[in-house]
Each structure stands twice: as C-alpha cells, then as structure tokens.
C-alpha cells in the first residue's frame, strides 16, 4: 500500500524545535539518548528523533552535516491523544538538583564576563573562541537539565510517552501544533516498515536549516545580555472574550533561556471584560522575554478538560513581549497591549536596574516595623520575634503550605503595601485583613520586611565571615565555623532566624505539592537575609568583575549560606529555650 507523508512547515518545526529535555518514556521504560531531541510531525504520525554529533556542541549551521538521526518511536496522528486510557502509574519525573541548575547559570554568567574582559584586553581571538565554546557547552547543558514539566501523549493502542518541557507556555505550544496537524490529517492509522521509517528520518535532515537552539549559541556578543534588576508589571484588563469565564493571568520570564512562572493575578469571576489592575514586582536575571498566559479557572477538579483529559486550568490564550532595554530604561511606565488568539491584554511595565534598585539604609525611623532595627521592634513589642514575622508565618502555615510556588510567585503589590501600612500602624484588624488576602501577598510582605531592615538579619559585621565560612572545604571546620557565627548573632536576630528556619523546613516538606525545595527557598531568602549594604561588600582587587558577574557570585554565596543551615538536621540551641524566648512578653 502506498502511503503519503507531509512534513511540518518550517515555522511549525521551529516552534517544536528542541525545547524539551531528551528523556522519553515508552511503555514505562526510561531512555536517554543524544544531546538534543527533535519532533517531526507528519499527517499520519509523530516521530521522536535525536542526533549524535562529532563535536561537543554545534556552533553553527556547518556542523549539522555530521548529525545522525535515529527514530525512536512513532504514533499515527489519528491514534494520538492527550487523554490516557486505563490509568497507569506515571514514572517519577527525574529532577536535576536546583543547586546544579544555579551553578550552571552562575558559570554561564562568569564565562560571559570573561569573554568581555578578553575582548577588551585584545589578547587574541583564540582565547575568546575557546570561552565561547565553553559557554555554549554550559548553555546546552542547562537547556537539557532544566525542563521538568511533563507533557504526556498516548496512543490508542495503549502505549504512553512523556516529554519534559520547560514551562506551561511551551507545553501549550506543543499541544497546539500537534492538534493543528491532527485537524489537517485525513489519513487512517498505518504501520510503517523499517525502510519507510528510515526514509522519513532521512527526509528530516533537509529541514536542518530551521533548527533553532535557544539561549545564546547563535547570538552575537554585541546583542543585549538581558536585563538584571526588577520589573514592575501592572496587568490592567483583557478584552475580546466571546463568553463569560473565570479568568486569570500568569507571567513567565526567562533566565538564561529557562522560563519560570513568576506571578499570577486573581481570578476575575464570570465576565467577558476582566479588570485586574494588579501590580507585581518581578526579579530579572539575564531576562529578555516576558510571557503572558490567560487561564480559565477550573473549580471542579473532577471535571476533565476535553483537550487533554487533565483536571488542570485551561489555557485560553498566550503571548509574549520582548524586554527591550532601550525602551524600558526610562523612569516612566511603558503601556502596551499583548495580542493573542483574539484576546488582548493591556499591561504596563517599568524596569529598575540592579544598580539603581533600593539599598538598605541606616535606620531613621523609630515607629512602625518596616525599616526599623529588629532589636528596637522586639523591645517595643516585649517579644523576641517581631509580631509581623509570627503573624505572616502563622497565616502561611494555615493555608499556604500547599500553594504552588509559595515565596517564589509574586504577590499583588497593592496588597503588600496595604499590609505594610497596617503593620506599621499597628492596626488591630491586621489578622482579619490577612485572612482575606491572597497568601502570596502575605509571603511578599514578609520578604519585604526582611529586605527593608536597615541591617540584614545576618548583620553587616558578620557577612564576610559567613561568606568565608561557607567556602571552607573541610566539612568539620565548616560546621564549627558556621555554627559559631550563627550563635554570635544578636539574640533577636538569632531567634527570628531559627523561627523562620523551622517554618521553611515545613514548607519544603510539602515540596511534592508546592514545588519549593530547600534550595528554592534558599534562593528566595538567601539574598534577603544576608545581602549587606554596598559599603559592606568586600572587594576583590585581584580579580575585578563586572557588576553583573560580581552580583551573581555574591548571590550564589548567600544562597549557599542559607542552604547550609536549612540542610543541617539540628542547630545546637535548646528547644526549650527557643520556645520560651519566642513567645516571652518580657523585655
């Protein structure tokens, strides 16, 4: 029987280009192959192929000639579904430790700085090319290690496969493209011989010119390295909805090409014209793209989406905007419209570079709690842990331990400012206000409190000592040094930290639900608890670094300090003393 095949066009193939990690399951068996994965969709089937290469990393189109494609499995499009038949236990999703991901990012940042220094010194082209190759290797490794969001596809014959995708946005791209091809497909289910598979495999080599490897492998060094600092985004409203929906928006930004969810609006209930007008502050690290996704909230978890058979919220529309440094450098808000699938969302953005972001200031206040020395607050309150810390942690433990991305996802800025004002004014109704607010706003208020302390919780005086202690290679010496430093903190600082530490460990116990590991929490709180004023940051005159590179290395150290204490099973402070001090009403 003669069978016809039609390859996906260049635009579609580019959309499906290797944004997935090369781990695929078939019949419950995990297989790992090649360095990159590529999916080629034709009218009757979908085939996963990988290539192997002679060189370590492809650095240009000329390298594609050495690639070899190998077909692994296929599903006729008419037999492909996102809904599983008989439910089987899904294999566990392999996760690369967060600290390894952060180490890759830091190394990429360091190599980029080295490239710029070599170019400035004009020592030679070969050294620059060697470092570019190292950068490409690290970026390729990051690309393959980062994705951990499953996309499951099923054959009506009963076989199931799983891809690992970086974000909800990319997972939606895959589904949309596959479903688009299914609509065009009018063929019946077929079986392919090994010869036909080989012919299809060979034909895909002709499409190699449309392969698109993300990150900076093909980017000129003169192009923007991305934005470092804080992006304030106001999500105003949406229009173009054809029916009333329970709608909310989520924001994703990239860091070295890897996207993560950073914020989400409230659900606007049953309307065609939602008006959120909610502001978020998002930290940027080498970021170039802001993605926006509109979801229909699924309140009935027993009701499955028709498209994919899952009980998750449904993506109604998605779009993106390039973060242009030239446009965003001004102090004024930049208003824009993101058009997507017939829906338009109005947003405003304002960017503050890291060097211009607010710094810790000497305490000028005597009233309130924000920006006031922690010792002054605890003395006034006749407690050893500030009331704001205890209240926020209590509310988060009451209803936020299973919130996905708790502490990582930004809260609404206006809600955070409302809570800040209430705590500063010692409003007696603050606990009632908190019970009615989104838990991410409460988490944001707590982070803001620590960030606005005139001196970090770990103190300016001991910052260099903590940074030196965490760098020790001898484990016994490191533990002795780090614990002695910790117990040297002023009593309010120490007890507040221990109180927070216990809470963060309880958050991490729910990692399978909230996706917040100890390392994720250390990444969020490390700089907040340790970063000193600029005047206290130790200089390294023997190795001058760019501001961006220096910041990346400092943040790594701050994260490692907090992670060290989070991973310690016990801190040698008597629990009885800890509990009696925490809730003491005596000065």
- Residue 216, in any domain of the structure: no
Among 297, 326, 356, the domain boundary falls at 356
- Residues 462 and 413 reside in one and the same domain: yes
Indicate whether 160 and 140 sit together in one domain: no
Q: 334 with 468, same domain? A: no
Which of 41-45, 190-194, 324-328, 578-582 is predicted most confidently? 324-328
Is 283 in the same domain as 417?
Answer: no
556 with 427, same domain: the answer is yes
Domain annotation covers residue 4:
no
* φ, ψ at 531 (rounded to 5°): -60, 120
For residues 40 and 178, membership in a common domain is answered with yes
pLDDT per position as a tens digit, 106-115: 788 778 777 8
Domain match, 393 and 475 both = yes
Specify whether 50 is located in the same domain as 130. no
Q: What is the pLDDT of residues 247-276, one digit of tens each?
A: 999 999 988 677 888 999 999 999 999 999
Which pLDDT score is estimated for 175? 87
pLDDT higher at 282 or 554? 282
User: Is the CB of residue 49 less than 8 Å from the CB of residue 147?
Assistant: no
Domain annotation covers residue 217: no
Last residue of a domain, one of 178, 210, 242: 210
CATH number of the domain residue 202 falls in: 2.30.29.30
In this structure, is residue 365 part of a structural domain? no
382 shares its domain with 265: no
Helix/strand/coil percent split, the chain, to 5: 40, 20, 35
| 153: in domain | yes
Q: Tell me how many domains the chain contains.
A: 4
Give the CATH number for residue 308.
2.60.40.150
Greater confidence (539 vs 173) lies with 173
**Structural domain containing residue 15:** 10-85+146-210
Looking at the domain assignment, is residue 221 inside a domain? no
Lowest-pLDDT choice from 27-31, 150-154, 164-168, 353-357: 27-31
Q: CATH number for the domain including 441?
A: 1.10.555.10
Q: How confident is the model at residue 581 (pLDDT cuts 50, 70, 90)?
A: very low
Q: pLDDT tens digit string along 440-480?
A: 999 999 999 999 999 999 999 999 999 999 999 999 999 99
Task: Name the pLDDT band for 537 (thresholds 50, 70, 90).
Answer: low
**398 plus 456 within the same structural domain:** yes
Instruction: Compute CA distances 78 → 15, 317, 526, whole Å.
Output: 21, 25, 50
The mean pLDDT value for 521-525 works out to: 93
Structure confidence at residue 87 (pLDDT): 57
In the listed set 311, 326, 356, which residue is the last one of a domain according to the structure?
A: 356
Question: 332-385, pLDDT tens digit by residue?
Answer: 899 999 999 889 999 999 998 877 776 676 666 778 999 999 999 999 999 999
Q: Does residue 266 fall inside a structural domain?
A: yes
Residues 175 and 30 in one domain: yes
Q: Tell me: do 341 and 453 sit in the same domain.
A: no
Question: Tens of pLDDT along 57-73?
Answer: 444 444 444 556 667 77
- pTM to 2 decimals? 0.72
pLDDT at 85: 63
Domain membership flag for residue 367: no
Q: Is the pLDDT of residue 152 over 70?
A: yes
- What per-residue confidence (pLDDT) applies to 90? 65
**The pair of three-digit structure tokens given for residue 331, joined into one six-digit string:** 């102090």
Residue 227 makes CB contacts below 8 A (sequence gap 6+) with: 284, 286, 287, 288, 323, 325, 328, 351, 353
């Amino acid at each position: 029987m003669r069978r016809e095949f039609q390859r996906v066009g260049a635009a579609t193939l580019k959309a499906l280009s290797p944004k997935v990690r090369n781990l695929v399951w078939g019949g419950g068996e995990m297989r790992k192959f090649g360095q990159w994965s590529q999916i080629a969709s034709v009218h009757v089937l979908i085939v996963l192929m990988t290539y192997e290469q002679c060189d370590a990393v492809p650095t240009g189109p000329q390298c594609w000639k050495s690639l070899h494609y190998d077909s692994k499995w296929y599903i006729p499009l008419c037999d492909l579904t996102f809904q599983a038949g008989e439910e089987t236990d899904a294999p566990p999703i392999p996760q690369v430790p967060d600290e390894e991901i952060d180490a890759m990012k830091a190394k990429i940042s360091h190599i980029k700085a080295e490239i710029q220094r070599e170019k400035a010194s004009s020592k030679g082209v070969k050294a620059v090319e060697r470092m570019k190759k190292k950068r490409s290797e690290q970026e390729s490794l990051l690309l393959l290690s980062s994705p951990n969001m499953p996309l499951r596809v099923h054959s009506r014959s009963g076989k199931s496969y799983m891809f690992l995708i970086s974000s909800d946005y990319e997972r939606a791209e895959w589904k949309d493209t596959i479903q688009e091809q299914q609509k065009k497909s009018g063929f019946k289910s077929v079986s392919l011989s090994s010869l036909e598979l080989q012919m299809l495999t060979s034909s895909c080599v002709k499409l190699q010119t449309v392969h698109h490897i993300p990150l900076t492998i093909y980017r000129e060094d003169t192009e923007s390295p991305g934005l470092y600092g804080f992006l304030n985004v106001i999500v105003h409203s949406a229009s173009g909805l054809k029916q009333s929906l329970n709608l909310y928006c989520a924001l994703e930004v990239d860091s070295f090409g890897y996207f993560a969810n950073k914020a989400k609006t409230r659900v606007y209930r049953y309307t065609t014209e939602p008006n959120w007008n909610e502001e978020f502050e998002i930290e940027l690290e080498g970021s170039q793209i802001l993605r926006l996704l509109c979801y229909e909230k699924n309140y009935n978890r027993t009701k499955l989406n028709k498209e994919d058979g899952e009980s998750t919220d449904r993506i109604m529309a998605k779009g993106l905007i390039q973060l242009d440094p030239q446009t965003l450098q001004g102090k004024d808000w930049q208003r824009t419209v993101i058009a997507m699938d017939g829906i338009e969302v109005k947003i405003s953005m304002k960017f503050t570079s890291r060097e211009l972001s607010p710094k810790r200031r000497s305490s000028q206040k005597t009233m309130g709690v924000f920006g006031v020395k922690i010792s002054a607050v605890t003395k006034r309150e006749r407690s050893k842990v500030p009331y704001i810390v205890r209240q926020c942690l209590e509310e988060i433990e009451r209803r936020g331990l299973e919130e996905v991305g708790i502490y990582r996802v930004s809260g609404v800025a206006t809600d955070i400012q409302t809570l800040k004002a209430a705590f500063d004014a010692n409003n007696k109704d603050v606990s009632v206000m908190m019970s009615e607010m989104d838990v991410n706003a409460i988490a944001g208020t707590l982070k803001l409190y620590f960030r606005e302390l005139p001196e970090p919780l770990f103190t300016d005086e001991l910052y260099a000592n903590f940074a030196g202690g965490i760098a020790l290679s001898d484990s016994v010496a490191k533990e002795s040094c780090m614990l002695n430093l910790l117990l040297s903190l002023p009593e309010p600082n120490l007890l507040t930290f221990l109180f927070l530490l216990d809470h963060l460990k309880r958050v991490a116990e729910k990692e399978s639900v909230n996706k917040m590991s100890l390392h994720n929490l250390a990444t969020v709180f490390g700089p907040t608890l340790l970063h000193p004023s600029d005047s206290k940051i130790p200089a390294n005159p023997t190795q001058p670094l760019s501001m961006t590179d220096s910041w990346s290395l400092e943040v790594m150290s701050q994260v490692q300090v907090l992670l060290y204490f989070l991973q310690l099973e016990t801190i040698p402070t008597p629990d009885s003393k800890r509990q009696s001090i925490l809730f003491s009403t005596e000065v």
